[in-house]
Amino acid sequence: MTASTDDFDVDQEGWVERSLLTADTARWSWYVTPKIGGTHTLVLKVQPIVAVRATGGVTAALPDSASADIGQYETRVHVNVPWSERPQEVMSRLAETFNVAEGMVKALTALVLAVIGLLAALGVRRKRDRAKASTID
């Protein structure tokens, strides 16, 4: 089960293994705690890998997990936030916005510094060319 870390907390991350040796049904469950209201996406990824044990306890060769197909199932959920939890939701939304804004500010700063560096290099070159031209005259 995967979800945006800005939108949800999921109690178990990564692959969760289950066995059909002790029961004929395998069940999975997750506790998913929303952080903010609105409509969001949860993704369930399933990768069946089966090992067959012979009566002597010897396990047959397993297929390579990289070659097994991964089924991906997306679901959209809508989260309603009670009035008592609205302040916490607002703080979560602000934190998410500031994280996005921080990335944009860093990228913009890098771009401005690159442009300043380019202009400085062109200005030094132009000044040097003018100095050469005046010494030749």
Q: What is the pTM for the complete model shown? A: 0.48
Q: Domain residue spans in the chain?
A: 1-80, 83-137
pLDDT one-digit tens code per residue, 75-128: 898 888 777 777 777 777 777 777 767 777 788 888 989 998 898 888 888 888
DSSP string, 14-63: S-----SSS-S-------EEESS-EEEEEEEEE------B-TTSPBPPPP
